[in-house]
Amino acid sequence: MSEKPLVALRGIEKRFASGVRALGGLDLDVRQGEFLSLLGPSGCGKSTALRLIAGLSEPNSGAVEWRDGARPEIGFVFQEPTLMPWTSVAKNVFLPLRLQGVAWRDAASRVREALAGVGLAGFADAYPRELSGGMRMRVSIARALVTKPPLLLMDEPFAALDEITRFRLNDDLLALAAQLKTTVIFVTHSVFESVYLSSRIAVFAARPGRVTETIEISAPRVRHSDFRLAPEFSDYARRASAALDAASGARAA
Amino acid sequence: MSEAREAGSAADGPRLDERVDAARAWRARLVEIALPLAIFAAALGLWEAVVRLRQIPPYILPAPSVIAETLVKDWSVLSASLLVTLSITFEALIAATVGGVALAILLSQSKWIERAFLPFAIVLQVTPVIAIAPLLLVWLEPSTAVLVCAFLVAFFPVLANTALGLASTDYNLVDLFEIYRAPRWKQLVYLRLPSALPYFFSGLRIAGGLALIGAIVAELAAGAAGQGTGLAFRIVEAGFRLNIPRMFAALALISATGIAIYGFFTALSTMFLGRWHESAGGRER
């Protein structure tokens, strides 16, 4: 297991113009193929860390080191579905391919496949406003996965959904990630969601944001709802909660 | 798969609701159209009755029937003038649309360009056309001066609304384009321009009305100097001759033109935005 990490964050410092120290002394390795949750309270800098990995912002000091020298192709899912309202579901999913210069007739089958993967095969011609919140989020996931990226970044994607929809999307996401062998970095503030989804949890402390503890979840990658009721699930949840408590106790300011 | 079933059943609900909603919307639209038409017809009837009962002479207030008669009788003169006014309005509107959109795109390229040029646009906007018209008439051919006036008033709403639209693109989508390393022109074509469309259309609707006003106002200024053949000139001319029915007939044509322009752009906007934007009629539940 001494494989080089897919991406490593080394001694990251990030300050905003307002003077807030969002990240301080952040070290984190992301391993090939894992489902890593960044767990922490709101405002602890976990989304900022995700944006650094995506290349959407630059650290003030420290480095984001990619195993292959540069950032690979990524998929990104925001907290909101972030669809283009003026065009159909299919054309929304087509966007990443279109931006790569792929023509529609070459992309159509891949778009169909991505939509079928999230259970929206019959909705290619619908417009985003005609869909429910959960279905919009599915479109957003299909868009992120249509290029079959080796790395998927998700920023609290299910936070605004009801619990029933969220559980269903949790299961489908696990199945898709396993099927595509995608590495996933998943930002969440839900202990239970992080335990259910992850192969590893990185617990964040706030002000400045940094990882205080990582927890390995050694259950099979594809899980079903009975895992939520298993004794090991509550053990992991208890450990993660304790780590969160310890992290908030370790608050510097 | 289970998610397919979930998606399917989730879709049946809105579709049923949509049918009920469509019926409700249809009834609402009927009332929306029929009610104002009935009120308008009643107002005309009242006007006709008052003029006849009180025997008001046509050079004070002509009855609607007399105005309609004049419209038919003077149609050759009035229609020629209508054509002049219409062509000025549309030429000005096309120039304002092209110019406004082009400048809005230019301004959206950098904050510095925006800072530098926006004051000029605002000065042009806040200065009343009627005050510039005499100056333009000194500098330019009367027909050109009228066109420039109409252009100046129609230009700003297109510019301001399009610029606002270009600036209010969803920032998450902007991030997404950055993640996929899209060049600036692709961001403009696939993201900023489409998301500015609703703003652009509301600007265009305002500009349509203003172009007509600009054309009329400039024509009034030019007409007083003995130039022009548009509808505004017909009004001035009819006023001098105390031909009040013709004045009203020209006025009715100007109103009808304004309504037609507004209706045209509303229909255009519905055509483009119908399926995605709340402003285009459909109710969001």
Q: Is B203 exposed, middle or buried (0-12, 13-18, 19+ CB in 10 A)?
A: buried
pLDDT band at A253 (very low <50, low <70, confident <90, very high): very low
State whether A119 and B275 contact (CB < 8 Å): no
State how beta strands A210-216 and A35-39 pair.
unpaired
3-state secondary structure labels for all residues of chain A: CCCCCCEEEEEEEEECCCCCEEEEEEEEEECCCCEEEEECCCCCCHHHHHHHHHCCCCCCEEEEEECCCCCCCEEEECCCCCCCCCCCHHHHHHHHHHHCCCCHHHHHHHHHHHHHHCCCHHHCCCCHHHCCHHHHHHHHHHHHHCCCCCEEEEECCCCCCCHHHHHHHHHHHHHHHHHHCCEEEEEECCHHHHHHHCCEEEEEECCCEEEEEEEECCCCCCCCHHHHHCHHHHHHHHHHHHHHHHHHHCCCC
ipTM of model: 0.91
Token digits of residue B166: 């270009």
What are the extents of the domains in chain B? 1-55, 62-280
d(CA A246, CA A204): 10
CA B27, B29, B30, B35 torsion-angle sign: positive
- Which of helix, strand or coil describes residue B32? helix
Give the best residue of A73, A99, A129, A167 to mutate against chain B (max B CB count within 10 A): A99
User: Left (φ > 0), alpha (ψ -120 to 50) or beta: where does A202 sit?
Assistant: beta
The pLDDT tens digits for A18-77 are 988 999 999 999 999 999 999 998 889 999 999 999 999 999 999 999 999 999 999 999
> How does DSSP classify residue B190?
I
Higher pLDDT pick, A140 / B273: A140
CA A27 and chain centroid, separation: 18
pLDDT of residue B15: 61
d(CA B174, CA B196): 13
d(CA B101, CA B46): 46
pLDDT of residue B12: 45
Token digits of residue A4: 């080089």
CATH superfamily entry for domain B62-280: MetI-like (1.10.3720.10)
Give the best residue of B9, B172, B176 to mutate against chain A (max A CB count within 10 A): B176
Helix (H) or strand (E) holding B141: none
pLDDT of residue B285: 43
Indicate the residue of B7, B191, B195 with minimum beta-carbon distance to A119: B7
The pLDDT tens digits for A180-231 are 999 999 999 999 999 999 999 999 998 899 999 999 998 887 788 889 889 9
Cα torsion for B112, B114, B119, B122, to the nearest 10°?
Answer: -170
CA A162, A164, A165, A168 torsion-angle sign: positive
Mean pLDDT of chain A: 92
Side-chain half-sphere exposure of A178, counting CA atoms within 13 A: 13
pLDDT of residue B22: 77
**In chain A, which residues touch B (CB < 8 A)?**
54-56, 74, 76, 78, 80, 82, 84-87, 95-96, 98-100, 118-123, 127-130, 132, 134-135, 138, 168, 172
Side-chain half-sphere exposure of B28, counting CA atoms within 13 A: 9
CB A121 within 8 A of CB A112: yes
Rounded mean pLDDT, A136-158: 96
Question: Nearest C-alpha of chain B: how many angstroms from A219?
Answer: 23
State whether A122 and B7 contact (CB < 8 Å): yes
CB pairs under 8 A between A and B: 79
d(CA B72, CA B253): 12
Indicate the residue of A95, A100, A127 with minimum beta-carbon distance to B275: A127
d(CA A64, CA A66): 7
Nearest alpha carbon to residue A115 among B1, B127, B90, B180: B1
Question: Nearest C-alpha of chain B: how many angstroms from A239?
Answer: 32
State whether A84 and B172 contact (CB < 8 Å): no
Nearest CA in chain A to B178: A56
d(CA B205, CA B270): 12
Q: How far is CA A172 from CA A53, A119, A196, A216, A242, in A?
A: 24, 9, 12, 22, 28
Mean pLDDT of residues grouped by 10 in chain B (285 residues)? 42 59 81 89 95 92 94 93 92 96 91 82 81 87 88 91 92 95 93 94 94 90 67 89 93 94 91 75 47
Side-chain half-sphere exposure of B78, counting CA atoms within 13 A: 22
Indicate the residue of B3, B176, B179 with minimum beta-carbon distance to A119: B3
Helix (H) or strand (E) holding B225: none
